[in-house]
Structure formats: structure tokens, C-alpha cells
A and B are shown apart, each in its own frame.
Chain A
Amino acid sequence: MKRRESGKNVLNQYPADSGVEKAFKAIGIISLILPVSLLLILIIDTTADGIPRLNWSFLTSFPSRFPEKAGILSALVGSVYLIGLTAFIAIPLGIGAAIYLEEYARKNRITSLIEINISNLAGVPSIIYGLLGLGLFVRIMSLGRSLIAGALTLSLLLLPMIIMAARESLKTIPQELREAAYALGADKWMTIRKVVLPLGLPGILTGIILSLSRAIGETAPLITIGALTYIAFLPESLTSPFTTLPIQIFNWISRPQKEFHVNAAAGILVLLIIMLLMNALAIWLRIRLQKRNV
């Protein structure tokens, strides 16, 4: 509030700037309205197309050549398994790496080299990870086109993002708190466990869930490692073949029959709902944990 008032005073002194500010504000509003309304149009359009198709049997049926009988069971379960497994692999590794880099690693050339590499990896297109996964997990480690190969590939994709988010969060914890813990006689492990991690957790969790919601919409790396399109059974083990929601949606959209496009719209809605739930969980967790810390 205060800042704005002082800003006004400045404007009074230099009235020529007020036009610039207005223009800037207008640009800001436009750049907000444009993407939001585009998104709204997309969501409304998809909802209108997909809602009539969205029912229990759509969620519990396998794909079929009859659009009205086709469902997303194998894709939905595949996506849930895949994300669960990916989280299981990527979260401990990611948080561990971040804690090491922030708390233990000495600041020297090698550390900064690793840091630069991690930031660069976060920007690598996801299909590259798919090719890596195909070579490494599917072929060399001969895991085949399995759930575990998919989860490992997605974990590689997510790791840089999780590490960066976790590190940013750990960085915001004031050094004084660590020093206070040492002053009370805590050792390094104790400090990390009792002070650093609990305080960093809200930020870490938000980062993790946001990157997981990105992973659930990934298609390219999974197609590359050979996730399938038609599967009428559910994965039974880590080495089972699988399919995911985005792949099923993509397949339906490219069919000639309009009824399949309706199925695709309904599938998009399911994917959207899952992502919204995940994001809502992230926000809820952050608010809750922050409250506790204060």
C-alpha cells in the first residue's frame, strides 16, 4: 500500500510518465486476458464436446473399435501407475541431490559444473529423454517397453526440475536458523532433519507436484520408448506393457470418425481433472505447511 502511494507522488512530480504507466498497465492486462481467455475457450469447447461422453463406463472400459463402447481404463490406470512409480523413483533422488548440493557440497568448480549441467538438463526437450530411455533402459538394460522403463525415463526428465525446485526452496531458509541450531549443539544431520527440511518442505512439495503434473501430460518420450496404443488389460508387474492417457487421446483424435473425437474430448477432461486435483493438492499442502512453520 505504502509503495503505491509513494508511486503516486512520483507520478505527480513527473506527469509525463503517467501515460507510460497507463500503457504498461494496459499491456499487462491484455497479456493476462489473452492467454486466460484462450484457455477458457479451449476448456469450454472441450467440456461441451466431452461432457456427454463422460460416465462411469467410459472410465471402466477398455479401448474398442466402437467409439460408444470404448473407454480409458487401461490408459487411466497406466497413467496412475506410471506417475506413482515415477514419483517413487524421482522424489527421493531429487530431494537427496538437492540437500547434498545445498548443504554438504563445497562450493568449487566441480559443484558449479554440476549445477550448470542440471539447469541445462531442465531445458532439454522431452523427446531427447525418450531417445535416451529407449537406448538405455529398453535396449541396453533390456527392460523392454515396460512400465518401469517408462517410469525411469520420466524420472530422468523430472529429476532436474525437482532438484532445482528443492534447491530454490532450501536456499530461502535463512543461514541464521542453521547457525542457531548449531549453537544449540545440533550436528549437521540433526539440523537438516529438524530445521532445514521441515522449513523447506512446502516449497519442495509444490515443485514436485507441479513437475509431476507436467509428467502426466507427457507423450513424446513415452511414444519413443514404445508405450503402446491398444491394450485391453491392466499392468500386472513392473515389466508389463502399458499405455497412458495422452497417448490414448492422441490416437482418438487422429481417427476419422467424429465419435472418437468426442471420446478424445472426454479423455482430455479426465486428464484435466487429474491435473487440477494435483495442482490443488500442491497449493493446499503449501498453505498448510507454511501455516505450521509460522
Chain B
Amino acid sequence: MGKKVKKLLIAMTSLAIVLMVGCRGSSDRSVESGRKDFSGMVLIDGSSTVFPITEAVAEEFQREYPGVRVTVGISGTGGGFKKFYAGETDICNASRPIKESERRECEKNGIEFIELPVAFDGLAVMVNPRNDWCHSMTVQELKRLWEPAAQGRILRWNQIRPDWPDEEIHLYGAGVDSGTFDYFTEAIVGKEQASRGDFTASEDDNVLVQGIATDKYALGFFGLAYYEENKDKLKLVAIDDENPENGVGPVLPTEETVANGTYQPLSRPIFIYVRKDSLENKPQVEEFVRFYIRNAPALVKEVGYIPLPARAYELVMRRIDNRVTGTTFSGSKVGLSIEEIIGK
């Protein structure tokens, strides 16, 4: 081999080594002050909907506890639970309650979990701002539009209400692997994953925002946080569940109507699931979870979600104190207040 090539290879190798060492040096600077008595890892994975909240908590937590390392992944709620019941993570971010099948897997693997609701997320139904006819819809109308039988049949606005224009309706919705899609189909059609297939689906909600914002005859649904960031491009549709017990007539999703349960059925709690043995054997996990709930009211709002009522956070904290395992949300009836469900 020629001398020059050898030199070059040596130069490249040493550059790589310098880079690695240089980068390592800078990682020590975080250990300065704060509570040093906690160390170790907190491993979290799951829903992309819950991710921004957990990320915010992790960011604040690591500032106060520099010895602890928190990692957060995004595998979706289903993927997160797979890792959770395989024993690979301490905490699972979930945008829906645990499913019966997932609960059985946990049981099989001897993993006990504590279910902690951390915030509300509203699902918003949206149309284009130039749409001057659709201001509200009933759950029945939404169901007629989205149920599997509507595929290829309900194609025009006037098929929903006769006085709406005789124009094609263009549908946009969350991707079929998301907890958002699961929740929407469950709440509107009545059965999880039951939906027409002929709509534009995207895991990336920004694609949906663009679609609806540029199409006068569009209608779509996704998380309320995306509406908050795109108010000028979208118009909210008020939802009427025709149940006078939680608000009469159509209700628009706002921080208030989502939190007090009148915006039904499209407001949902979102969760973290904590492994019980992690909570007991890893002090940093318990510290993190308590920190999470203590700071949730402020941080949840900051990243665009809606905090639970103060009383609910107290009940959540008590669940941690008493190590209450199992789920009370899975399969629970829509319409119960969050405090009632946690208190069970």
C-alpha cells in the first residue's frame, strides 16, 4: 500500500478517535448541582401523542436530577405496549387505555402495571374556513359518514344533510395505526378500527392540516393541539352527542369543554403505564413518576394539551402511593367523569 494512502488512513482514524473523545468530554458537564443521590435510567416508549408531554417532563426532570438518564421513544401506543410487556421499558406512553389482549400479555409475563392518566386530548373535527354551511354535526351524522358501510356510498355533502351543497366530500383522518384512529372509530362508529377505507389517512397530522386547509370540500379529524397551531387555516365543527346530560346541543372543543366532559365523545384521557417492579426497585422511576404528576398541570398546558382537574391529579398521586395496579379505564363507559374512573 502506498505511503500516502497509509497516511490518509491514519489521519482518518485519528480524526474519528478525536471526534469520539471530544464528544465524550462534553457529556460530563451536566453533573453539577441538584439531587445527586438518584442515578440510573428511566426507559420510556409508546405513543407519539403523549410524547411531547413526557419529553417536557424528562427535560425538566433531568435538569433537577442530573444523575438520572431518561430516554423516550416513539413506537405508537401498540408498539409501546409490546415493549412494555416484554419487560424492555419502565413506562409506556399510551393515547388509549390498555387493551384486553395487552393486559393478558402483561399477566403472562408477570408484569404488573399502574395506570396513570396524565392529560386530556380532544379530537377535533375540522373543515375548511371557506366552508360556510357546516358548523356542527351530530354523532349520528358522523357515524353515517365514517362507518364502513359508507364507503363508496356517502360521497356528497348533501347526503349528510339535504340542505348542504351537492358537492363531493373529501375526507381526511389519522393513520390507521394510531391511537387517535382507534379512539375516533370507537367513539363515533362504536367499534375500534371500524371505518370506511376511502379517506386520506396520514400518520403525520401536518399533512392532514395542509389537505383540509387547501380544500373547500374537505372534512377531517385529528388532535386538538394541531388545530391550536393552525387556527387561521381551519374551522372547527361543533359536536352534538344528543345526550342532554353532558351539555345540550352542539359543543365546540375548548379547554373548558374538554376538561369538564361536555365535549363528548371526542375528548379522551391519555396515559402513562408504569411497571410496578420498576417503581419499587428503581427509586429514580418512582421519583420520575411523582415529578411527572406534580408538574403535569403546568407542562401539559405548555405543550398544547389540556390538564386534568386538580382533584384528578390528587387521585392519581394516591394511586402511586397505594400502588394500585390494573386498569379501570379499559372498557369503561364513555360519559363517566375522570375522577369517578380513577376513584374506582
Is A58's CB within 8 Å of the partner chain B?
Answer: no
The complex places the Cα of A187 from the Cα of B45 at a distance, in Å, of 57
CB atoms of A233 and B27 under 8 A apart: yes
The complex places the Cα of A144 from the Cα of B73 at a distance, in Å, of 14
Instruction: Return chain A residues, CB-CB under 8 Å to B43.
Output: 241
CB atoms of A254 and B20 under 8 A apart: no
Partner of B302, one of A65, A201, A254: A65
Instruction: Return chain A residues, CB-CB under 8 Å to B229.
Output: 256-258
Instruction: Return chain B residues, CB-CB under 8 Å to A121.
Output: none
Interface residues of chain A, those whose CB is within 8 Å of chain B, are 60, 63-65, 77, 80-81, 84, 144-145, 197-198, 201, 223, 226-234, 236, 241, 251, 253-258, 261, 285, 288-289, 292
Instruction: Return chain A residues, CB-CB under 8 Å to B58.
Output: 230, 232
Cβ < 8 Å to A, chain B residues 57-101: 58-59, 62, 69-75, 83, 88
Instruction: Return chain B residues, CB-CB under 8 Å to A144.
Output: 88
CB atoms of B5 and A233 under 8 A apart: no
Digit string of B42-54 for contact with A (CB within 8 Å is 1, else 0)?
A: 0101001001101
Is B242's CB within 8 Å of the partner chain A?
Answer: no
Nearest-CB distance from A108 to chain B (Å)? 32
Is B205's CB within 8 Å of the partner chain A?
Answer: yes
CB atoms of B59 and A64 under 8 A apart: yes
CB atoms of A63 and B55 under 8 A apart: yes
Instruction: Return chain B residues, CB-CB under 8 Å to A255.
Output: 52
B-side interface mostly? helix
CB atoms of B45 and A226 under 8 A apart: yes
CB atoms of A234 and B55 under 8 A apart: no
Is B225's CB within 8 Å of the partner chain A?
Answer: yes
If the complex has contacts A145-B88, A234-B27, are A256 and B230 also in contact, measured as CB distance less than 8 A?
A: yes
CB atoms of B19 and A65 under 8 A apart: no
Is B206's CB within 8 Å of the partner chain A?
Answer: yes
Other than the given A65-B55, A81-B23, A236-B27, 10 more pairs (CB < 8 A) read A63-B59, A229-B51, A229-B55, A233-B62, A254-B205, A254-B206, A256-B225, A256-B229, A258-B229, A288-B8
CB atoms of A256 and B304 under 8 A apart: yes
Instruction: Return chain B residues, CB-CB under 8 Å to A229.
Output: 51, 55, 72-74
CB atoms of B24 and A256 under 8 A apart: no
Residue of A nearest to B3 (CB): A292
CB atoms of B70 and A254 under 8 A apart: no
Is B16's CB within 8 Å of the partner chain A?
Answer: yes
Residue of B nearest to A227 (CB): B73
Is B217's CB within 8 Å of the partner chain A?
Answer: no
If the complex has contacts A65-B52, A256-B229, A256-B230, are A80 and B23 also in contact, measured as CB distance less than 8 A?
A: yes
Nearest-CB distance from A149 to chain B (Å)? 12
CB atoms of A234 and B24 under 8 A apart: yes
CB atoms of B226 and A254 under 8 A apart: no
Instruction: Return chain B residues, CB-CB under 8 Å to A81.
Output: 20, 23
Nearest-CB distance from B103 to chain A (Å)? 22
Instruction: Return chain A residues, CB-CB under 8 Å to B158.
Output: none
Cβ < 8 Å to A, chain B residues 273-290: none
Instruction: Return chain B residues, CB-CB under 8 Å to A223.
Output: 74-75
